[in-house]
Structure 1
Amino acid sequence: MFIRLLVIIFSSILIAFSWNSFLLPHKVLSSGVAGIGMIISLLTPINTGYINFALNIPLLVLGFVKLGKKFMMNTILSVVVISGALLYLPVKPLSTDPILSAVFGGVLAGIGIGLIFRFSGSTGGLDIIIFLLARKKETPLGTLTFTLNAIIILISGFLFTWDIALYTMLSIYVTGKVIDMIHTSHLKLTVMIITNKGEEVKRNLISRLVRGITIVDGEGAYTKEKRKVLFMIISRYQLSEVKKIIRESDPGAFVNIMETLDVMGSFHRDL
């Protein structure tokens, strides 16, 4: 618990540092709600920290009601720390080159966001919007993300310059790639667990997650040893928790995690 809070706080400060030291001085924007907050701060004397927090308040309230409580508590912590750090960290460029700033700012932001994802949280804004929309309609999440980010890039081009819009596109792309390296960009994952302690693993997973589990009997091809094979589909934000539960239940379990493009039938969409 302490490590999770420490990582979320450190990662949130890292994100704020990337914005104030690399992106904002060159008018390069982040994605989603954060990008909208940056636009407002660049056009007004209001600090980005105040705007970021204000824009996230209604989303946090709605997300707390509709999404998982643990996930939202971690998200609230991240939003508060990012907004506070934006207030106190100086908006001062570390590089005069906008391309280098877009790349390194995107890398640092991606590291921070990816770590927060790994520890069952998010930075608010875009992720909350995507989850809420995805629960209402079967719109591909990639399409939603692309559309929201495209709007940010177009606004950047019209308000500032098209060079800045391209820098913004580069930064968003780099951030996404780094997040993929640290965590995963896929919303749903299929987990296959091969274990000698099937009942214990099942019991611990069910007690701590709202997810269905399918269990089949397995046998080693060479050893002829009987084992249980558990299958379950989870959201990307549950991945770190699932890994922790499996390690606690059976450190010797074989686990295969696969990307899941879509799910038909009953799938509980709450986090």
Structure 2
Amino acid sequence: MDRNKGKQLLLDFLFLLAGAAVYAAGVNAFTAPNNIAAGGVTGVATMLNYGFGTPIGLVVFLINVPIVVWAVLEIGYKLVAKTMVAIVLSSVLIDLFSHFIPAYRGDPILVALFAGVCEGVGLSLTFIRGATTGGTDMVARLLGRRLPHLSMGKLMLAVDGLVVVASAFVFGSVENAMYACIVIFVSTRLIDAILYGTDVGTGKLYFVMSPKVRQMGERIIGEMDRTVTYLDSKGGYSGDAGETMLCVVRRFEVYRLQQIIREEDKDAFVIVGEAGEITGEGFRSMHSDDKSLKELVQALRDKGKKP
């Protein structure tokens, strides 16, 4: 193992450990003691803990076992390895922290807000290194491979929604279900802000010149769920014909893209630029921009009509 690869593995572990720790702290300090099931596998585990006293971390791990097996069979062990580490870390830390993390049972609004912050930061640290915490997001990704017409976001929202609705009956409190919605809203907004920045329509533009761009492209499509464009090119000095790969990614995906490029061809010639505005599938919708512009123009017209 070369030094750079060892350094990246260490960073992976530290990020996953930090993410699991923040997430576990949020579960034990805010959601679990206040009977808030904010969707996903952890929400199910929280309800089972309330009804039967089962350890939340253990249940999270057991539910994720068949999901991980499915993922390994579907996309291979290598692509699931980091997620397996993240699941183990979060499961262990949730149960470990339950013994010494103090529970906050004060203002329920503060509970929901800080629970959302902990969940958002914890998951973001995990996502940044190309892993997930299993559960509904992994199920959605796996179903998306077989049923590409299904929206991953809508599928995850539906599953989380079912958990939240079920929690209202399990805990006998509609208010707790409403607080769970606040947790989900805060965490998703925070994840978007950390991973995508303040503008979801920006990213990084990559031009890659290498005899192995086809291999890179196949991995980018399969492992990152991003597409690429191959451009015919010709070297000005050598006169050799070849291909240049064009790819646009979000900022948090840069690490994974660079890793794929290095693994396929460490001598690849790469040009990286800022993509100030990106519209289309996987980024910002051009339709929503047109709608916003029309609304702005109409508002200005209405304002101009006023005496």
TM-score over 0.5 for the alignment? yes
Q: Which stretch shifts more, 128-137 or 57-66?
A: 128-137
Task: Write the distance in 2 (CA, Å) between the matches of 1:4 and 1:124.
Answer: 16
Question: Is it true that 1:231 corresponds to 2:246 in the alignment?
Answer: yes
Higher relative contact order (CA 8 A, sep 6+): 1
* 3-state SS of 2:245 partner: strand
Whether contact under 8 Å (2:204, 2:250) holds in the other structure is: no
Map of 1:261 onto structure 2? 281
Residue 204 (structure 2) pairs with residue 199 (structure 1): no
Q: CA deviation at 1:71?
A: 3.4
TM-score between both structures, scaled by the size of structure 1: 0.79
Paired letter, 2:246: F
Are positions 1:242 and 2:273 aligned together?
A: no
Corresponding pairs, count: 250
Distance 2:76 2:279 in 1: 22
For residues 53-72 of structure 1, what are the alpha-carbon distances to aligned partners after superposition, in whole Å with 9 as ceiling and x for unaligned?
Answer: 11111001111111253331
Structure 2 unmatched ranges of 5 or more: 1-8, 234-242, 283-307
Q: Deviations over 1:176-223 (max 9, x none)?
A: 1111112259xxx9987454x6237937835964566423379xxxxx
State the 1:108 CA deviation.
1.2
- The counterpart of 1:174, out of the listed 160, 177, 186, is 186
| Counterpart in the other structure of 1:127 | 137
Sequence identity (%): 23
Q: Match for 2:127 among 117, 123, 127?
A: 117
Whose radius of gyration is greater, 1 or 2? 2
TM alignment of 1:37-76, pairs within 5 A: 37-76=45-84
**Partner Cα distance (2:279, 2:74) in 1:** 25
Q: Which amino acid in structure 1 is aligned with residue 190 of structure 2?
A: V
By how many angstroms is 1:244 displaced? Answer: 4.9
Measure, in 1, the Cα distance between the counterparts of 2:221 and 2:105.
47
Write the distance in 2 (CA, Å) between the matches of 1:192 and 1:201.
21
* CA 34–253 in structure 1, closer or farther in 2 if over 3 Å, else same: same
1:238-259 CA-to-partner distances (Å, cap 9, x unmatched) read 5531145679756752153846
Task: Report the CA distance shift for 1:72/1:170 in structure 2 as closer, same or farther (over 3 A).
Answer: same
Question: Which residue identity lines up with residue 167 of structure 2 in the other structure?
Answer: S
Amino acid at match of 1:254: G
Counterpart Cα distance in 2 of 1:11 and 1:66: 26
Q: Can you give the 5+ residue segments of structure 1 that lack an aligned partner in the other structure?
A: 219-227, 263-271
Residues 158, 29 of structure 1: alpha-carbon distance in 2 compared, 3 angstrom cutoff: same
CA contact (8 A) 2:206 2:246 kept: no
